[in-house]
Amino acid sequence: PAIMGNADRPDLADELTNSFCRTDPDIAREFARATFTSDNRSDLPKVTARTLVLQCSDDIIAGDHVGEYVRAHIAGSKLIHLDAVGHCPNLSAPQEVVAAIRAFV
């Protein structure tokens, strides 16, 4: 629930929890290892593709400083602050995510 945010919409937290619980434990372990032990900050300046950085508010995993850092280290990238709350806007605010991506492309 903390990752999802949106305390007023507990169904979203349930959906995320159920998704994690359905994942094969070996795959989940590899995902967690890659996610929490990788540091790719030095790769950011090497990115040459047009890049859109989407930043949610109240994201306990990747706060505003993370979005700002990514934008500052990828030349020409664009940072959009979404109205969405939490770390999973694809679940909590899919229309807002789609609109931001469409406007970018």
Contact 63, 10 (CB under 8 A): no
Dihedral sign (CA 90, 92, 44, 61): negative
Which pLDDT tens digit goes with each residue over 2-55?
676 777 787 787 787 777 778 888 998 898 899 889 999 999 999 999 999 999
| Number of structural domains found in the chain | 1
Determine, yes or no, domain membership for 5. Answer: no
Determine, yes or no, domain membership for 69. Answer: yes
Determine, yes or no, domain membership for 90. Answer: yes
Determine, yes or no, domain membership for 2. Answer: no
State the amino acid at position 45 in one-letter form: P
The domain that holds 18 is classified in CATH as: 3.40.50.1820
Determine, yes or no, domain membership for 41. Answer: yes
Residue 8's Cβ-side half-sphere holds a number of Cα atoms within 13 Å equal to 3
Q: What is each CA distance from 104 to 56, 61, 68, in whole angstroms?
A: 17, 24, 17
Determine, yes or no, domain membership for 3. Answer: no
pTM of the entire structure? 0.79
Determine, yes or no, domain membership for 4. Answer: no
Domain that holds residue 69: 10-104
